Amino acid sequence: MSLVDDARRVRENAYAPYSNFKVGAAIRAVSGSVYLGVNVENVAYPEGTCAEAGAIAAMCAAGDAEIAEVAVIADSPVPVSPCGGCRQKLAEFGRGDVKITLATTDGTTTETTLGALLPGAFDQSQMERA
């Protein structure tokens, strides 16, 4: 099963009662373990939390801390990329060359890298004087 297949499968578990826009994410850690996440909405924060953030939280909870690959899927006309906040979170745990596959439920995919999604990412080196 591919990482996109994992994201497709978990997407069905998204909690999106306000937007009905379900997103699934799968992260493969450098260890080889795969972590899954979905978007979760609530009445106070109807735009909800992102699928990528959920997968990152699961990865950290399991003790992994480095991303090797990411897949994100949604039912949209074009592949949906992670929001700005999730791009920064992904950059915290992955290098610029990490492969990111963005997919739609009808099979359209786009491949990119974390560095292409977030050029000029804020990182530890920028705090050397702190």
Give the domains, in start order, of the chain with CATH numbers: 3-120 (3.40.140.10)
Summarize the annotated binding site for substrate as residue ranges.
Answer: 39-45
* Inter-residue contact 79 to 117 (CB < 8 Å): no
Interatomic CA distance for residues 101 and 109, integer angstroms: 7
Q: Which of 12, 47, 52, 128 is catalytic?
A: 52
The string of pLDDT tens digits covering residues 14-54 is: 999 999 999 999 999 999 999 999 999 987 777 778 899 99
pLDDT for residue 121: 80
* Inter-residue contact 19 to 57 (CB < 8 Å): no
Q: What is the mean pLDDT of the chain?
A: 93
Summarize the annotated binding site for Zn(2+) as residue ranges.
Answer: 50, 83, 86
* Inter-residue contact 17 to 44 (CB < 8 Å): no
pLDDT for residue 127: 83
pLDDT for residue 87: 93
Closest CA to 13 of 2, 26, 29: 26
pLDDT for residue 43: 78
Look up 92 and say whether it is catalytic: no
